[in-house]
C-alpha cells in the first residue's frame, strides 16, 4: 500500500500561504508516499492550481451530506471535487466538538464523499477523560459506526487522533499507538471485511519532524494526519521524507 502524509491547515492560510505549498513541491518533487494538503475551502481551487502536474494532492476539511441545496455556508463533496480536491477529511474531533457531528452524520458524509469520487479520511479518537477511564478501545470500536460497511480500500482512510494529543505537543507512547492501530485494523476487518487490509491507517496528534520516524515504524501506521506542522513546508517536507523512508 502507498503510505499517506496528509496535512490539515484547519482555519489557517490565505493566498500568501500558497508559497509554502510551492516550497513543499520543490522540496519533495517525487516522494515515495502520497502527499496531501487540506487547506481551508477558500484555498482549495487555488492550491489545486499550484499543485497541478506535481505530486501534491489537495483535499477538503469537511463536506455536507447533500450535493446542492439551501444550506448556507456549507460546501458539498461535489463542489470540492470540482475545485480540484481528491479527498476530504470527515469527522475531525474539532468538528465533532464545535459542530456536534455524530458518527451517523460522519457516515452520511462518507457516502457523499464516495458519490463525488473523493477519498473519505474519517477521523476517530478518544478524549483524555476516556483515555484516563480506560475506555479508549471501546470508544474506537463505537466510532467504527462512522465508516460505511461497504467501504473500499481505495476510498477510505482512517485517522486515529487522540483528542488530547491534537495541538498540545503531547503524543501517546509508541505502545499506545501500536495498541490502538492493531485494534483498529481488526475492528475495521470486522466491519468492512478483507478490504480493511488495504485501508491506510494514519496517526494524528502533534506529529512533527522529531517524532515522525518512530511513529512511522509502528505496525499498522500507514501515514500521518498533521495539523500545525503542515503549515510550514520545511516541517511537512521533513515528515514526508520520514514517511518515504519508512
Ligand atoms: P496537530 O493536529 O498536528 O496540530 O496536533 C493534528 C490534527 O488535528 O489533525
What is the per-residue pLDDT across 125-159, written as a single tens digit (0 to 9) for each?
999 999 999 999 999 999 999 999 999 999 999 99
Pick the atom of ligand 1 nearest to 169's CA. 5
Q: What is the pLDDT of residues 170-192, one digit of tens each?
A: 889 999 999 999 999 999 999 99
| Active-site amino acid positions | 92, 161
Do strands 4-8 and 56-60 pair parallel, antiparallel, or not at all (unpaired)? Answer: unpaired
Q: State residue 170's pLDDT score.
A: 84
pLDDT at 167 over 90: no
CATH number belonging to the domain at 4-245, selected among 3.90.420.10, 3.40.190.10, 3.20.20.70, 3.40.50.720: 3.20.20.70
Q: Which helix (H) or strand (E) holds 51?
A: helix 44-51
Each domain of the chain, given as residue ranges in start order, spans 4-245
Q: Quick check: CB of 161 below 6 Å from ligand 1?
A: yes
- The CA distance from 36 to 185, in Å, is 22
User: Does residue 193 come out as left (phi exceeding 0), alpha (psi in the -120 to 50 range) or beta?
Assistant: left
- The CA distance from 155 to 53, in Å, is 22
Q: Quick check: CB of 207 below 6 Å from ligand 1?
A: yes
Is there a contact between 64 and 71 (Cβ–Cβ < 8 Å)?
yes
Is there a contact between 229 and 239 (Cβ–Cβ < 8 Å)?
yes
Q: Using 50, 70 and 90 to split pLDDT, how confident is the model at 168?
A: confident
- The CA distance from 47 to 80, in Å, is 12
Q: Quick check: CB of 205 below 6 Å from ligand 1?
A: yes
Q: Is 233 helix (H, G, I), strand (E, B) or coil?
A: helix
Q: What is the pLDDT of residues 75-134, one digit of tens each?
A: 999 999 999 999 999 999 999 999 999 999 999 999 999 999 999 999 999 999 999 999
Q: Using 50, 70 and 90 to split pLDDT, how confident is the model at 5?
A: very high
Residue 199 has, within 13 A of its CA and on its CB side, a CA count of 32
- 119: Cβ contacts below 8 Å, ≥ 6 apart: 59, 86, 87, 88, 113, 154, 155, 156, 157
**Given ligand 1 and candidates 123, 161, 230, which is best to mutate, with the most ligand atoms within 8 Å of its CB?**
161
Question: Which residues is 228 bridged to in the sheet?
Answer: none
Question: What is the pTM assigned to this prediction?
Answer: 0.97
Q: Is 215 helix (H, G, I), strand (E, B) or coil?
A: helix
Number of helices (H), then strands (E), in the chain: 10, 8
Would you give the DSSP letter of residue 198?
Answer: G
Residue 112 has, within 13 A of its CA and on its CB side, a CA count of 24
Q: What is the residue-averaged pLDDT of the chain?
A: 97
pLDDT at 169 over 90: no
Ligand 1 atom 7: the closest Cα is on which residue? 227
- The CA distance from 214 to 154, in Å, is 26
Q: State residue 195's pLDDT score.
A: 97
Pick the atom of ligand 1 nearest to 165's CA. 5
Handedness of CA 170, 43, 6, 238 (dihedral sign): negative
Q: Quick check: CB of 8 below 6 Å from ligand 1?
A: yes
pLDDT at 10 over 90: yes
Is there a contact between 37 and 7 (Cβ–Cβ < 8 Å)?
yes
Residue 245 has, within 13 A of its CA and on its CB side, a CA count of 12
Q: State residue 199's pLDDT score.
A: 98
What is the Å distance from ligand 1's center to 65 Cα?
24
Q: Cell numbers at residue 32, please?
A: 515515495
Q: What is the pLDDT of residues 206-224, one digit of tens each?
A: 999 999 999 999 999 999 9
How confident is the model over 57-71, as a mean pLDDT? 98
Q: State residue 77's pLDDT score.
A: 98
Amino acid at each position: 500500500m502507498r503510505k499517506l502524509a496528509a496535512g490539515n491547515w484547519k482555519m489557517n492560510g490565505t493566498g500568501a500561504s500558497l508559497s509554502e505549498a510551492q516550497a513543499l513541491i520543490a522540496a519533495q518533487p517525487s516522494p515515495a508516499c502520497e502527499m496531501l494538503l487540506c487547506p481551508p475551502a477558500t484555498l482549495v481551487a487555488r492550491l489545486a492550481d499550484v499543485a497541478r502536474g506535481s505530486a501534491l494532492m489537495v483535499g477538503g476539511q469537511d463536506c455536507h451530506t447533500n450535493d446542492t441545496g439551501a444550506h448556507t455556508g456549507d460546501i458539498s463533496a461535489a463542489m470540492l471535487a470540482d475545485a480540484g480536491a481528491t479527498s476530504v477529511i470527515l469527522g475531525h474531533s474539532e468538528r465533532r466538538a464545535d459542530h456536534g457531528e455524530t458518527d451517523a452524520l460522519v457516515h452520511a458524509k462518507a457516502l457523499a464523499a464516495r458519490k463525488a469520487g473523493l477519498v473519505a479520511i474519517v477521523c476517530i479518537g478518544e478524549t483524555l477523560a476516556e483515555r484516563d477511564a480506560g475506555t479508549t478501545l471501546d470508544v474506537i470500536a463505537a466510532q467504527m459506526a462512522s465508516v460505511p460497511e461497504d467501504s473500499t480500500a481505495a476510498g477510505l482512510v482512517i485517522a486515529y487522533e487522540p483528542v488530547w494529543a491534537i495541538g498540545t505537543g503531547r503524543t501517546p507512547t509508541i505502545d499506545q499507538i501500536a495498541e490502538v492501530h492493531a485494534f483498529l485494523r481488526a475492528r475495521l476487518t470486522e466491519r468492512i471485511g478483507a478490504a480493511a487490509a488495504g485501508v491506510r491507517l494514519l496517526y494524528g496528534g502533534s506529529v512533527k519532524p522529531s517524532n515522525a520516524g518512530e511513529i512511522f515504524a509502528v505496525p499498522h501506521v500507514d501515514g500521518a494526519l498533521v495539523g500545525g506542522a503542515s503549515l510550514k513546508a520545511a516541517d511537512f517536507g521533513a515528515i514526508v521524507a520520514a514517511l518515504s523512508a519508512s
